[in-house]
Structures are given as structure tokens and as C-alpha cells.
Amino acid sequence: MKTPLIIEQHFHGAYGVDFNKAGADEIIELASKLRKIGIGGFFPTLVTDSVDNIKHQISVIKQAASKCNAIIGIHLEGIFINPLKKGIHNPAHFLPLTVENYQKLEDDFIKIVTLAPELDEGLIDYLKSKGVKVQAGHCIGWGKADGVTHTFNAMSSITHRGLSTALSALVSDNVYTEIIGDGVHVSDDALELFFRAKPADKVILISDALPITYSGLKETIFADSKVYYDGKKAYSADGTIAGSTALLPEIIKILGKKGFFKPEFIENTYRYHNLEPKGCIEWDDEFNILEIK
């Protein structure tokens, strides 16, 4: 099997590198490590933080991107989300979904914003006018979204009466929809429902990986909280599951063994962002990487 290089559009770091804290050289070094496992491009994803620190880290990521073409843009996840579905995010930093609040940190390198559509006060139309991908996530509602962030996680679940974010994500055939297939965040039955319901050309595989991923650490501070890793999953002190502890090459292998993976899923991220592949991966029948070109 041959596919383009993998693009990670939603992850917070790995190998101990945290995009909310890292310096430019650390991010460039991380990009080199990612390339060796088949990840040719990525969107550093910033978790909820103070406006000042987000602005600082946007500057740091742009500095790294000026020397590394694997860094495609920034995914801003947080600040504009619903406290009812906050996950591990710190609600002390949340802001109303207004244009004025977004302009406090606005930058043309922000390419994706995850937000709660039900709380929108004009921000969605503004982001769309700027060409930013709007994704529904950490929310209970639905709206004019281009995509959906980690389907089933941190959103209102499927219901047979009324509306929910997860239900709308599954039945909206024109909306690109993220899924974490690490075997922790979504059950096999829910994965099967997802892959049956969504058109194959609208599936976006993500890892939502945390900085603790492949770091050898058993605990760290992420999103102002202590996060623990038990060898399978990462979670906060109150038991809230945080992001994944696997990157996409490992997740693809997990999905492949379950019969869920299609090569098209890797191609979708290129289409979503109108990107051209700059390399390829050769895989064996067990979804191990044979060669990266």
C-alpha cells in the first residue's frame, strides 16, 4: 500500500515537546523526528491558555515555520469553547465568541479554530471571511462548521430526540470530521458507526497527542493541570481523559488491524487544506511502514 506522507492537523506535541511552551528549536527538532515516522506536515495545536501566552507561542511557531516547511499552520483549540464540555481545558481562560476577542490574538498563521457554535456572537462568519477553517468541538450545539473536532469526545452525544453535535457530525455528509482511533477515546462499536455513517472522503484521522506521548514520562503539566500516564491512557487528577498518547502512524496500525483504515483517509487532510503531497509512504500488509520517501 502506498499513501502520501501523513499530516497531523490536531496534536499538542510529542516526545516531551509542548506547543504551548516549546521554543522554536524544539519544534524544529520535533518536526525532524516526526518525518522519520512518516509525518510530513502538521498543525501545532494550542490548548486553552492566556491570551498573552498564546500570542507568544504563535510567534514562536511562526519562527520555527520559517525554517521548517513541515509546519503548515496553527490549530487553535480552546478559549472559544463551552465550559460544559471543557474536557481538560482551563475555563479561567475562556472568552466569549466575539470578533473583538479573537482579534486580541489574531494571526494569519491560525488556519483552524475549534469553537462552540452555540455560543457564537459573530466570530464564525468573521473566521470564514478570513479563510480559517471553523470546527465544532467542546460544544453541545451545531452551526456553520467546516469540520468537527474529535467526534464523540467533549461534545453532546447521539440522541434519538432533538439535536446533538455528534449526531449532526455523522449525518452531515459535506462536513470533514475528525476521529481519534487510538482504542481509548472511542469504542470499537462507535468507530464502526462512525466509519459506516461518514462518507470516506470526509474522514480526518487525528491523534490529539499530548506532549507526554513517546516521552518516557509518567506525568507532566498540560493545560494548567497535572496529567498522568498509566501506559495506556493519559488523564487528569479527577480522571478526565486527556488527549492521546499515540501518533497517527501507530493509530493507523490500530485501525488497520480492526479493518477500519482506508488510504483515502490520509489523502483527505490534503484535500481539506488544499495541499499537495511532498512525499509518500510504503506500507506492508500489517500497516507497518516499509519506506518513507
Q: In Å, how far are 47, 110, 281 from 54, measured between CA atoms?
A: 9, 11, 34
pLDDT recorded at residue 163: 87
pLDDT recorded at residue 162: 86
Q: In Å, how far are 110, 147, 184, 203, 209 from 177, measured between CA atoms?
A: 19, 5, 18, 5, 17
Residuewise pLDDT in 10s, the chain (293 residues): 999 999 999 999 999 999 999 999 999 999 999 999 999 999 999 999 999 999 999 999 999 999 999 999 999 998 999 999 999 999 999 999 999 999 999 999 999 999 999 999 999 999 999 999 999 999 999 999 999 999 999 999 998 988 899 999 999 999 999 999 999 999 999 999 999 999 999 999 999 999 999 999 999 999 999 999 999 999 999 999 999 999 999 999 999 999 999 999 999 999 999 999 999 999 999 999 999 99
Tell me the domains of the chain and their CATH numbers.
2-292 (3.20.20.140)
Q: Which long-range contacts link 194-198 to residues 24+ away (Cβ below 8 Å)?
A: 194/151, 194/152, 194/170, 195/260, 197/170, 197/171, 198/170, 198/173
pLDDT recorded at residue 184: 96
CA 201 – CA 272 distance, rounded (Å):
10
Surface-to-core class of residue 103, CB atoms within 10 Å of its CB (0-12 exposed, 13-18 middle, 19+ buried): exposed
Tell me the per-residue pLDDT of 136-195, one tens digit each, with 9 for 90 and over: 999 999 999 999 999 999 999 998 988 899 999 999 999 999 999 999 999 999 999 999
Tell me the per-residue pLDDT of 219-228, one tens digit each, with 9 for 90 and over: 999 999 999 9
